[in-house]
Structure 1
C-alpha cells in the first residue's frame, strides 16, 4: 500500500471462462462521509457502479460581457481631469481670496465715488451759475412752454415753443 493512498485499490483479475466469475462480489460498505475528495460513484459502460477518481468539472465560462461604449470610456477618462481642474480652481481661489476681497472693496469705493460725482457736479454747477448771475434766483431762470395741437387721429401735429 502506498503512503499517499488511504485505500488499497486492487484490480480485478481477468477471467477466461464465464463460469470462473464469482456469483456474488462482496464490496465493503463505504459511507458518503468516508469518500475522499476527488473520488465519486461512477457507472461503467457495463452497468456496474463503482468508486473512481474523477476530474473536477471546470467552472462554467462567464457569459461574454457587452462592449463598453466609447462615450462611457471618454466620460470615465474626463472625470478625473474635470475634478482636478475644479480642485485647482478652488485652490487658486483660496490663494486669491484676500486680493479678491480687496478688489471688491475698491470697486464699491469707485462706484460710490461715481455716484457722488454724478449727484455733486450738477449741484456745484447750479451754485456757480447763481453766483455768476448775481445770486438772485428769479433773474437767471428761463421758462419754456410748448403747445402742440393735432387734428384727428392721424392728423399732422403743429406746435409752438415760447421762451419767457
Structure 2
C-alpha cells in the first residue's frame, strides 16, 4: 500500500514576537486527506493529525443458522418432562402414608403365610396324637360260586 505524503502544518493562533507573520494556509475540511483530522492539543493549539482509521471487519459475520429441529423439540419438551416429574413427586408424597400402610399389610400377610405353613402341620400332628389308639377296621367278604353274590361285614374296633 502506497501512502501519499502530506505536509501537516500547525495553526498558530497566538502570534507574538518571534513568531512572525502568519503564512499558514487555510485548509477546508473537505480538502483533508483520509485519516487526517483537525485536533486540539492540551496546550490549546489546533493542528492536523493522523487518526487511526477504523478497519472494517475482514470477515463478515456468518449468517445466522436456523435452530435444528431436535434442539427446538427438546427445548419445548423440557418443561413438560420437568412438570411431569414434579407432579409424580407430589403424588408420591401424598400417597406415601397409603404406600407405607400397604407395605405393612403386605409384610403382615407374608408373616401370616409363613406362620400358616409352619403351624398347620404342627396342629395336625398334635390332633393325631390325641387319639392314642388308632381305629382298627376289619372287613370280611364271602362269596359262593364263581358268579355268586358277595357278602361282607365291616367291624370297627
Class of the TM-score when normalised by the shorter of the 2 chains = 0.3 to 0.5
- Higher relative contact order (Cα pairs below 8 Å, separated by 6+ residues): 2
So what's the TM-score if we normalise by structure 2? 0.47
